[in-house]
Amino acid sequence: APSDLLARGLSRLGELLAGLLQKACAPAWLSGLLMDGVYRTLAWVVAVMLPPMAIFFPLFTLLEDLGYLPRVAFNLDNFFRRAGAHGKQSLTMCMGFGCNACGVIGCRIIDSPRERLIAILTNNFVPCNGRFPTLIAVITMFFAAT
């Protein structure tokens, strides 16, 4: 999988950086802070988040350039109106699958303050790429065969 390949590459780079810190006679606390605290955390986030986002956002941009997304918003407007929201929220919810922060920021396109607030609050329930591994782990714990 691309995430595994990226994780292995970043792990090798981490070993190189740890060796450089050791050669520079860096104190153990500094080495631990930089390698365990900063580098490994960032490497894990990049390895998990980059492959899905590298696929999702170009496809989302393609749909936007083709003019498909405004049609989706128009077609879903009646459905969202019944829930007290706006059809434009469908676009921000789609963006939320890639990154929830982008989906919430995208709520700026909604004109009504009330509907914008509804969109911001409900977009947080859309599982983004960062939440999928956690959701899969939790679902596995609860529904694993006994």
Could you give the C-alpha distances from 134 to 48, 137, 140, in angstroms and in order? 11, 5, 10
More confident residue, 132 or 66: 66
User: Given its phi and psi angles, is residue 67 left (phi above 0), alpha (psi -120 to 50 degrees) or beta?
Assistant: left
Could you give the C-alpha distances from 78 to 39, 55, 82, 97, 113, in angstroms and in order? 47, 30, 6, 22, 19
Among residues 139, 140, 92, 138, the alpha carbon closest in space to that of 119 is found at 92
- All structural domains of the chain with their residue ranges: 1-50, 67-146
pLDDT at residue 33, as a whole number:
92
The predicted model scores a pTM of 0.62
Q: How confident is the model at residue 95 (pLDDT cuts 50, 70, 90)?
A: confident
Q: Residues 28-82: pLDDT tens digits?
A: 999 999 998 899 988 988 888 888 788 888 998 899 899 998 899 999 999 999 9
Structure token digits, residue 93: 């919810």
One-letter amino acid at 63 equals: L
Q: How confident is the model at residue 145 (pLDDT cuts 50, 70, 90)?
A: low
